[in-house]
A and B are shown apart, each in its own frame.
Chain A
Amino acid sequence: MLRGFCGGGSFVSLKAINVDLQTDAALQVDISDALSERDKVKFTVHTKSSLPNFKQNEFSVVRQHEEFIWLHDSFVENEDYAGYIIPPAPPRPDFDASREKLQKLGEGEGSMTKEEFTKMKQELEAEYLAIFKKTVAMHEVFLCRVAAHPILRKDLNFHVFLEYNQDLSVRGKNKKEKLEDFFKNMVKSADGVIVSGVKDVDDFFEHERTFLVEYHNRVKDASAKSDKMTRSHKNVADDYNRIGSSLYTLGTQDSTEIFQLYCHIPLFYFSQQKIEARVSADEDLKLSDLLKYYLRESQAAKDLLYRRSRSLVDYENANKALDKARAKNKDVLQAETTQQLCCQKFEKISESAKQELIDFKTRRVAAFRKNLVELAELELKHAKVTGIYFCFHFRQLLFHRIIEVGLEGTL
């Protein structure tokens, strides 16, 4: 069981992915605590609000991942929100890989020295903690995005989610429902292809569509490659660790004269390893997480465009139906009403979609800027600190050359 204390402040880095989430007094949401049990994580959602909708000004509830997904899905299924970018759902907490590694380590305990084992265990625990913190941050960002959205924050389901202090009885989807979802998605993507064939009159949306499709694909690619790069860094760091312990063992077993020399190199390698691990962790956070998040957001934006296109197609179909009805002079009123509704829906979506897409761009640019600047600063800091380590070790070696020279004279 792992407990993480996550006040709003400690996840500034993840919140930076969504800059401009200025929390205002009207509604502030954060995850104040989280508990990791065998296979689920329990988040403590803490709300502070001056809105009259809530019974109290400040309150907390415990929620699990499935309940977040329920909330997200309720937004997606709500027709009224068709014109908004629905904040992407947080990914499922996944500790499997980490748990596997810990298990493997436990099994391999006999084959390595005590120091090695303790070191690796520490690292795996740190990794576990990092994943834990990340998943908490992802869930928090989702809630904050909803709370910051002028329309979504008023959603009733959202309020229930925040306030209702008992289990929402939202079970995860069973097999039948998952299958239904699968088919729904297939239909949707097929439809999406059809709908995207329709050329848009509005230049803004036409441009946005082309842009988003391409952008989404490239972000996907960049995200995957960034992940691979981060993992490679981690591998190199692990290698340094192993080399460091080997050198250390060598040093302790060796004849005293040479010990001095070897003693420093392991230190050097250990320090290298720590830095490499840091580099990879930072890259992970600033680059990989950023890309992953915008992968999901760009998908949400694409979904918005899809919904708009869909409503456009519906509108055009309604127009055609109306023309046909007028020509046949049959069911004209019905056709007119349908056409009116479609028109309204389409215009409503278009209006809000435009603003949403502009906001998306602003958010994106700001987030990239912040993260790229921080990435560069961190990499610089690491490179400089590593340089200092090297200089230190240089000096140690110089010292020992002198000592060894003296010693050799007596051999």
Chain B
Amino acid sequence: MAAEREPPPLGDARQPDLEELEDGEDLFTSTVSTLESSPSSPEPASLPAEDISTNSNGPKPAEIILEDDREDLFAEATEEVSLDSPEREPILSPEPTPAITPVTPTTLVAPRMESKSIAAPVIFDRSREEIEEEANGDVFDIEINVSDPEKVGDGMNAYMAYRVTTKTALPMFNKNEFSVKRRFSDFLGLHSKLATKYMHVGYIVPPAPEKSIVGMTKVKVGKEDSSSTEFVEKRRAALERYLQRTVKHPTLLQDPDLRQFLESSELPRAVNTQALSGAGILRMVNKAADAVNKMTIKMNESDAWFEEKQQQFENLDQQLRKLHASVEALVCHRKELSANTAAFAKSAAMLGNSEDHTALSRALSQLAEVEEKIDQLHQEQAFADFYMFSELLGDYIRLIAAVKGVFDHRMKCWQKWQDAQVTLQKKREAEAKLQLANKPDKLQQAKDEIKEEIEEWETKVQQGERDFEQISKTIRKEVGRFERERVRDFKTVIVKYLESLVQTQQQLIKYWEAFLPEAKAIA
């Protein structure tokens, strides 16, 4: 049906006229904005909108791509999203398109987009993104997979072993492709080592997946039901994400412990990751002490940037938690919907069986089949909801905790510096007192001692200051990196999620279209 049309490109500030969309008639009679981006300016690009009103019933403006066939609608959407596919010819409208300034890598510095056509960006998109990534240097040639969860051992001593496969062309590794077997506590051990080494100098070390006593016990006990398989799969995916995030970090990638984790076939068991070990208890004590300290340290923040960022992360944390809860509710309800749809399908089939009018009976059975298939769709959608959205949110909530930890380290560093200054001051006062004292015999020795101590503390103060500046600098860089990663992660997930939704819709359409003639055939 040519009635529904491909939406024209809209600027960000404009919302589509949702009411009309719902009627499925005039899709976008709201205004169309052209986009001009000037990223070279220091402000984030504001988007001046040039209003071109579309009259959906009148002659179509040249800029809008015509898409009469709905199939193409979907196909193009999915096509444009997959960046990995080779360059494709943009689908242009039959009318002459306005002049499009071609963007080549050399003109990246000041790109100007005068395209009013939606297809044009496809050409630009790929080249610019690739170059952008190279410029940031955040893409390393290393790929990690966690697979093949295997149960090793029996009873309460059993554990799951995962295969960690690395494919890389980086020279620091001995081979190009290798794999090792690791268990969950190995991952925790790795994280613990990295955290101790890097967190206190301001690097955001990605947190490892959480322990789950309930989940693991079920697996150990040997219950082969769907919930334990789900649990293992969830954990496998989480471990994979954890490793992938860790190797993306340029500094952490260089770490020998990480290399050892990925490469060496035997790894010393990380016993002190167990909650009830001596190290575990020490950790808990430290955590409590830290919490108390945090409350007592009053930092004179000289840099507004840090204060602002901390507040931002606090807000983000709250919002993400709320969102996470809502998404989990969605997953739950969708599973419910799937179950209810399946139940209804069975019931409709029974009803069809007892109906004595043949055509109606057949139609009801068909309805039952359609609903069953839809139930399957719902299930798959729930799966997608969960793995793409919900888990990502969970990861980021934990990451933000790590970010907050890093900020806390900076505070501690500052405190150390201040303490050093205070001690230095005290020593200086002591020296002054000695100068004024009248005990000649002990004096020279004491004076020398004090002088040494003062020198020592002066160095400490300088060191403290340097450390503080270093950690502040590192944090700034890390936070920038974190924000970029966050945007990238969310973008990827949203796109993947939308893809899955599009597929679901296509299926839905197929099913109902097949059912409609059956319903009409009831005489």
Contacts and interface: CB of A to CB of B under 8 A. Distances in A.
A binds B: yes
Interface stretch (B19-27, B177-185, B228-236, B287-295): B19-27
Q: Which of A214, A228, A229, A390 has the most CB of B within 10 A?
A: A229
A392 B351 contact: no
A24 to B, nearest CB: 25
A393 B135 CA distance: 28
B100 interface: no
Nearest to B43: A256
Given A246-B326, A395-B9, A396-B12, A380 B516 contact: yes
- Summarize B's interface: helix, strand, loop or mixed: helix
B37 A406 contact: yes
A239 interface: yes
A246 B319 CA distance: 7
Contact of B44 (A268, A383, A394, A407): A407
A271 B21 contact: yes
Given A250-B323, A256-B44, A228 B340 contact: yes
Contacts of B41: 410
A102 to B, nearest CB: 21
A384 B502 CA distance: 10
Contacts of B223: none
Contacts of B128: 402, 405-406
Contacts of B422: none
Interface stretch (B144-152, B188-196, B435-443, B484-492): B484-492
Given A229-B340, A384-B24, A395-B9, A246 B322 contact: yes
A160 interface: no
Contacts of B484: 408, 411
Interface of A: 211, 214-215, 218-219, 221-222, 224-226, 228-229, 231-233, 235-236, 239-240, 242-243, 246-247, 249-250, 253-258, 260-261, 263-265, 267-268, 270-271, 274-275, 278, 361, 364-365, 368-369, 372-373, 375-377, 379-381, 383-411
B111 interface: yes
B351 A243 contact: no
B132 interface: yes
Contacts of B12: 260, 263-264, 396, 399-400
B302 interface: no
Contacts of B10: 392, 396
Contacts of A403: 35, 37, 39, 45, 47
A393 B502 CA distance: 11
Contacts of A410: 39-42
Given A222-B348, A225-B343, A225-B344, A394 B80 contact: yes
Contacts of A385: 4, 21-22, 24
Given A226-B344, A261-B490, A365-B360, A411 B480 contact: yes
Contacts of B512: 376, 379-380, 383
Contact of A383 (B21, B45, B498, B509): B509
A409 B347 contact: no
Contacts of B505: 383-384, 386-387, 390
Interface stretch (B49-57, B155-163, B274-282, B327-335): B327-335
B316 A376 contact: no
A236 B330 contact: yes
Contacts of B327: 243
A260 to B, nearest CB: 5
A258 B483 contact: yes
B363 interface: yes
Contacts of B315: 253
10 contacts: A218-B347, A218-B354, A231-B340, A233-B337, A242-B329, A243-B330, A254-B312, A376-B512, A384-B4, A387-B509
B347 A390 contact: no
A370 to B, nearest CB: 9
Nearest to A275: B22
B404 to A, nearest CB: 17
A222 B21 contact: no
Contact of A398 (B70, B121, B506): B121
Nearest to A280: B337
Contacts of A406: 37, 39, 45, 111, 128
Contacts of A369: 360, 363, 519-520, 522
B16 interface: yes
B516 to A, nearest CB: 4
Given A218-B350, A239-B326, A368-B363, A402 B519 contact: no
A239 B333 contact: yes
A394 B519 contact: no
Nearest to A394: B77
A368 B73 contact: no
B45 A407 contact: yes
A141 to B, nearest CB: 21
Nearest to A254: B316
B329 A239 contact: yes
Given A394-B80, A397-B494, A271 B37 contact: no
A233 B122 CA distance: 36
Q: Which of B4, B47, B315, B326 has the most CB of A within 10 A?
A: B326
Contact of B113 (A242, A257, A402, A404): A402
Given A225-B347, A271-B18, A373-B519, A404 B24 contact: no
B350 A390 contact: no
A243 B320 CA distance: 11
Nearest to A362: B357
Contact of A232 (B4, B326, B337, B346): B337
Contact of B330 (A228, A240, A397): A240
Contacts of A376: 512, 515-516, 519
B139 interface: no
Contacts of B506: 387
Contact of B344 (A229, A257, A274, A393): A229
B63 to A, nearest CB: 13
B19 to A, nearest CB: 9
B15 interface: yes
B501 interface: yes
Nearest to A260: B12
A306 to B, nearest CB: 19
A246 B359 CA distance: 48
Contacts of B285: none
B297 interface: no
Given A243-B327, A243-B330, A402-B124, A257 B494 contact: no
Interface string B498-523: 10011001101100110110011010
B7 interface: yes
B336 interface: yes
B341 interface: yes
Contacts of A225: 340, 343-344, 346-347
A384 B510 CA distance: 10
B16 to A, nearest CB: 6
A365 B522 contact: yes
Contacts of B113: 402
B125 interface: yes
B6 interface: yes
Q: Which of A260, A388, A395 has the most CB of B within 10 A?
A: A388
A228 B113 CA distance: 51
B332 to A, nearest CB: 9
A394 B498 contact: yes
Contacts of B76: 391
Given A233-B337, A410-B40, 11 more contacts: A214-B354, A242-B329, A258-B487, A263-B12, A267-B15, A368-B363, A373-B519, A391-B76, A402-B113, A402-B124, A405-B128
B108 interface: yes
Contacts of B357: 361, 364-365
B284 interface: no
A388 B7 contact: yes
Lowest 10 CB-CB distances: which A-B pairs, in order?
A: A406-B39, A232-B337, A369-B522, A239-B330, A372-B519, A225-B344, A383-B508, A222-B347, A246-B323, A235-B333
Contacts of B363: 368-369, 372
B323 A232 contact: no
